[in-house]
Amino acid sequence: MTEELIIAGFGGQGVLLTGRLLCVAAMRLGKQVSHIPSYGAEMRGGTANCSVVISDEDIASPVIERPSIVIALNGPSVAKFEPRLRPGGLLIWNSSLVKQAPTRSDLVLVSLDAADRSLSEGTERAANMAAIGALLKLKPDIVPMEAVEAALDEVISARNRKHNPVNLRILHAGYEITKTINAA
Amino acid sequence: MSAKTIPMYKRPEGLTDVRTHYCAGCGHGIVHKLIAEALEELEVLDRTILIAPVGCAVLAYNYIEVDGLEAAHGRAPAVATGLKRALPDRMVISYQGDGDLLAIGTGETIHAANRGEDITVIFVNNAVYGMTGGQMAPTTLEGQKTLTSPYGRNPADVGFPIRACEVLDTLESPVYIERTSVHNPASVRKTKKAILKALKYQKDGLGYSFVEILSMCPTNWGVEPVTGAEWVKDAMMPWFTLKKFRDRPEEKKEEKQAS
Amino acid sequence: MSKTLLMKGNEALAEAAIIAGCRHYFAYPITPQNEIPAYLSRRMPEVGGTFLQAESELAAISMVLGAAAGGVRTMTSSSSPGMALKQEGISYIAGSELPCVLVNVMRGGPGLGAIAGAQGDYFQATRGGGNGDYRTIVLAPGSAQELADFTIDAFDLADEYRIPVLILADGYIGQMSEPVVLPEPTGKTFKKPWALTGAKGRSKNIIASMKLIPDTALEEHNLHLQEKYDLISENVRRIETYHTDDAEWLIVAYGTAARIARKAVDRLRAEGVKAGLFRPLSLWPFPDRELYELARNAGKVLTVEMSLGQLVEDVKLSVNGAVEVDLYGRAGGAVPALDDIIERIKSYERENHTHVQAS
């Protein structure tokens, strides 16, 4: 198993944290992981993103040219990364914010009202958790839900750990919503 | 040694007994001797490191009996910073000329002063580059002819001579800033007091002190040694006023106690 | 054993410096190494050390010179354009035979270039970099773990040989987070009777790169340095090999390029092509003899680098014409593509070349 993910969104949507959460969960299960942010001036416009590789083998490059999975939390991220997904890849997009829906027919496209899910729990900042929930449902071989739950306390700073019960609820909501989509 | 032959004047213990490489009438030798005397009086010869600049005083460590370190041109205050941060209970002297301190090392000069590094900067200002053969310095006077200002320094073209003390006096951190001269015996005595005070403040851990010394370079000025001493008084001092700009040890002591 | 942590390469290096006993760090901000000063600005006060953000790269390296002269373990870090500025001080430090650790987390150039990772400073790093006839030891980590491990090694090497040791990482290695087990200190200690601590109970010490008297002093000094460099060339040769025993194709690469090349070796072997990887971990001294032997056995060599013909010069010098050497280089923040490496070698195999075109 090797998955190459790009997680993208506005600054403040927890893009880097999303990547770290997946990495720590996988690392604790003995998988190889790498995480690299887009850095510098690029952070201050359009999208912030990080590239995450999770694999059973040694990881060559942390830099991803053709991702197998993209989580796009805003419109510019869909525009930027939909064309780069490899055929058959998975695109989870935040339908609460994205106006232009993705169109490629050779991808698995999953729309998720991630920001609305987050807002319904009283926070604007946890859309990323809903997206991770959806990902875990759709790609169970990356890491199981329990591993991500266990990693939350390690990855979230002490200052923000009090929000973890909410994070957990949104994580599970993302997982359930996706189930409904798949059934449909 | 009998009482009758007690010398009135002797070579200080901290001054090495070697022939000087400095030119006749040069001020560096005088300043070296004053530093050696001050270090001896403060009993810190065995815990002092002298940082020599690039310039005529590049071999300063050959004349003063303390550990010696070389810095790249202009970087002595940064080198002093690193050394002092590594060994905070040692005395660190940054000895610099005008090109070193005010041209290639302007940034290092200002920032070390601004941080209030606990070092002593001795600045020998003779209005010319000596070692490289007499080029225009940042302190070369208006109209002064040098190898690279053959028509005389033209402020419209290259600006006015920079006054180091006045620039540093705009900063909050320094504890002591004074400009003195070594063009006659009375001035030498005043300079000795200034160097002693600056080093005493460092010994007491009071922070950054700066002594600018107007000095002679008859060789590159193209004059006799005696004329050189007169030129300091007649040409340099009207522009570079001899003055104590800053002396606030009590304030620094209070700050030190408070922190 | 310490716990495995997900650490950014730059932060793993910074913590390793603390573990190695470095308590004096001076630097100027520049991307993509900014996590190192940010991390040490928090950590140094916790361990009673000095973190100082210098006014310039020139000042930062000069502060390192001063601290090293005082006998303490000291470090600075930068990225390519900043490293160019530091060359003045590095030359003085080399000439003065002071120990210190330097870090270059490389980005693309020339000039301001861009901030993505690159390997374009290979020549600068391995040929001295500043004025004069000198070398620095250059170590080339390929992961966050190695950034930490090599940093520990670097401080010991610097003290052992009184030489600046440069850790040369590309921006991707510095920016990437990976599992890291923080290394243990080696516990080695080095006497420094030359340090400038004040001439108490001894004659005075002088540390200077200038050698004027007698006329032969500077050549003697250079010959002395060269003897030291020869000794290091014998003692500090670091390599990693992968499937080189029976390799018919030898890929030579370091840093991020080597990670991709290693994957290419796996893929090529799966397709029946006997490829192997030669990875120099020390770029100076360059492991030339080791490369010569393996290259001669393999017969075909491909250099993969994130620059357009720098590492390949050392490869060619090492094989000394015994086999021909091809180059696949990318630049400006691009990483070598796995498929391109594989295709390059397979296309030669398809055409059944008996030798490879020199690049």
Residue ranges in chain C assigned as alpha helix (H): 9-19, 35-46, 57-69, 80-95, 122-126, 144-161, 171-175, 217-235, 255-270, 288-298, 311-319, 338-350
| Number of helical (H) and strand (E) elements in chain B, helices listed first | 10, 7
Residue A45's pLDDT is what?
56
**Nearby residues of C26 by Cβ (< 8 Å), 6 or more positions away:** B82, C50, C52, C54, C59, C60, C61, C63, C64, C67, C74, C76
Residue C352's pLDDT is what?
64
The CATH number linked to A130 is 3.40.920.10
* Single-letter amino acid code for the residue at C9: G
Please check whether residue B42 touches C, CB under 8 A: no
Residue B3's pLDDT band (boundaries 50, 70, 90)?
Answer: low
Residue B51's pLDDT is what?
98
Distance (Å, rounded) from C-alpha A100 to C-alpha C126? 51
Q: Which of B218, B202, B243 is nearest to B80 (CA)?
A: B202
Counting every residue written for chain C, the total comes to 359
Q: Which of C141, C132, C135, C181 is nearest to C158 (CA)?
A: C135
Q: Which helix (H) or strand (E) holds B166?
A: helix B164-168
* Single-letter amino acid code for the residue at C243: H
Specify the domain boundaries for CATH 3.40.50.970 within chain C. 4-235
Please check whether residue C107 touches A, CB under 8 A: no
A44 vs C187 pLDDT, higher one: C187
Copy the structure tokens of residue C92.
């003085």
Distance (Å, rounded) from C-alpha B91 to C-alpha C252? 51
Transcribe C255-302 into DSSP letters.
Answer: HHHHHHHHHHHHHHHHTT--EEEEEESEEES--HHHHHHHHHHH-EEE
> How far, CA to CA in Å, does B59 sit from each of B22, B64, C94, C204, C295?
10, 10, 19, 14, 51
Buried b or exposed e, range C128-141, using 16+ CB within 10 angstroms: bbbeeebbbbbbbb
Q: What is the domain count for chain A?
A: 1
Transcribe C10-28 into DSSP letters.
Answer: HHHHHHHHHHTT--EEEE-
Which of C50, C56, C68 has the CB atom closest to B107's CB atom? C56
Copy the structure tokens of residue C1.
């054993």
Interface of B with C in 53-92 (CB under 8 A): 58-59, 61, 65-72, 74-75, 78-87, 90-91
Domain region containing A28: 2-183
Copy the structure tokens of residue C25.
């760090």
DSSP B247: E
Residue A47's pLDDT is what?
72
Pairing outcome for strands A2-9 and A48-55: antiparallel
Distance (Å, rounded) from C-alpha A41 to C-alpha C246? 46
Domain C4-235 homologous superfamily, CATH: Thiamin diphosphate (ThDP)-binding fold, Pyr/PP domains (3.40.50.970)
Distance (Å, rounded) from C-alpha C347 to C-alpha C332? 26
Q: Which residues of chain A have pLDDT under 70?
A: 39-46, 178-184
Chain A positions touching chain C (beta carbons under 8 Å): 20, 23-24, 27, 32-37, 39-41, 58-63, 65
> How far, CA to CA in Å, does C348 sit from each of B81, B178, C296, C297, C325?
58, 76, 18, 18, 13
Q: What kind of architecture, by CATH, is found in domain C240-350?
A: 3-Layer(aba) Sandwich (3.40)
What is the ipTM metric for this complex?
0.95
Residue B230's pLDDT is what?
97
Q: Are A67 and A84 in contact (CB under 8 A)?
A: yes
A62–C262 C-beta distance less than 8 A? no
B65–C96 C-beta distance less than 8 A? no
C63–B82 C-beta distance less than 8 A? yes
Beta-carbon count within 10 A of C111 CB: 9
User: Closest Cα of chain C to B144: distance in Å?
Assistant: 31
Copy the structure tokens of residue C273.
């092509």
Q: pLDDT above 70 covers what percent of chain C?
A: 97
Mutate to test the interface with A, among C3, C146, C175, C243 (most CBs of A within 10 A): C175
pLDDT at B31 over 60: yes
Q: Is the dihedral of CA B63, B229, B238, B248 positive or negative?
A: positive
What are the tens digits of pLDDT across the range C270-293? 999 999 999 999 999 999 999 999
Beta strands in chain A (DSSP E): 2-9, 32-37, 48-55, 69-72, 90-94, 108-112
Residue C247's pLDDT band (boundaries 50, 70, 90)?
Answer: very high
Place of tokens 């004053």: B34
Pairing outcome for strands C114-117 and C100-108: antiparallel
What are the tens digits of pLDDT across the range A92-131? 999 999 999 999 999 999 999 999 989 999 988 899 999 9
Distance (Å, rounded) from C-alpha B80 to C-alpha B50? 9
Which of A33, A39, A41 has the CB atom closest to C179's CB atom? A33
A58–C177 C-beta distance less than 8 A? no
**Nearby residues of C305 by Cβ (< 8 Å), 6 or more positions away:** C119, C122, C253, C254, C257, C311, C312, C327, C328, C329, C330, C336
Q: Which of B220, B224, B214 is nearest to B129 (CA)?
A: B220
pLDDT at C209 over 60: yes
What are the tens digits of pLDDT across the range C107-159? 999 999 999 999 999 999 999 999 999 999 999 999 999 999 999 999 999 99
Distance between the two ends of chain C, CA-based, in angstroms?
Answer: 47
Residue C17's pLDDT is what?
98
Q: Which domains does chain B have, with CATH numbers?
A: 22-258 (3.40.50.970)
pLDDT at C19 over 50: yes
What are the tens digits of pLDDT across the range C303-350? 999 999 999 999 999 999 999 999 999 999 999 999 999 999 999 888
Residue B157's pLDDT is what?
97
Place of tokens 């499937």: C243
A23–C177 C-beta distance less than 8 A? yes
* B149-176: average pLDDT: 98
Please check whether residue C259 touches A, CB under 8 A: yes
C212 vs B50 pLDDT, higher one: B50
User: Closest Cα of chain C to B170: distance in Å?
Assistant: 18
**Nearby residues of C55 by Cβ (< 8 Å), 6 or more positions away:** B78, B107, B108, B110, B111, C28
Question: Phi/psi class of residue B35: alpha, beta or left (left: φ > 0; alpha: ψ in -120 to 50)?
Answer: alpha
Backbone angles phi and psi of B177, in degrees to 5: -140, 125
Residue C353's pLDDT is what?
54
Q: pLDDT above 90 covers what percent of chain C?
A: 95
- 3-class DSSP state for residue C58? helix
User: Closest Cα of chain C to A33: distance in Å?
Assistant: 6
* C79-93: average pLDDT: 98
C259–A61 C-beta distance less than 8 A? yes
Copy the structure tokens of residue C70.
């005082």
Return the number of CB contacts < 8 Å for A and C. Answer: 57
Report the 3 state secondary structure along A19-44.
HHHHHHHHHHCCCEEEEEECCHHHHH
Distance (Å, rounded) from C-alpha B161 to C-alpha B244? 19
Buried b or exposed e, range C44-69, using 16+ CB within 10 angstroms: beeeebbbbebbbbbbbbbbbbbbbb
Residue B4's pLDDT is what?
75
Mean pLDDT taken over chain C: 96
- B204 half-sphere exposure, CB direction, 13 A CA radius: 19
Q: Are A81 and A4 in contact (CB under 8 A)?
A: no
Q: Which of A22, A14, A7 is nearest to A124 (CA)?
A: A14
Distance (Å, rounded) from C-alpha C154 to C-alpha C282? 11
Beta bridge partners of C138: C166, C284
Which of A35, A36, A65 has the CB atom closest to C337's CB atom? A65
* Single-letter amino acid code for the residue at C74: T
* B142-170: average pLDDT: 98
Counting every residue written for chain A, the total comes to 184
**Nearby residues of C127 by Cβ (< 8 Å), 6 or more positions away:** none
Distance (Å, rounded) from C-alpha C156 to C-alpha C190? 8
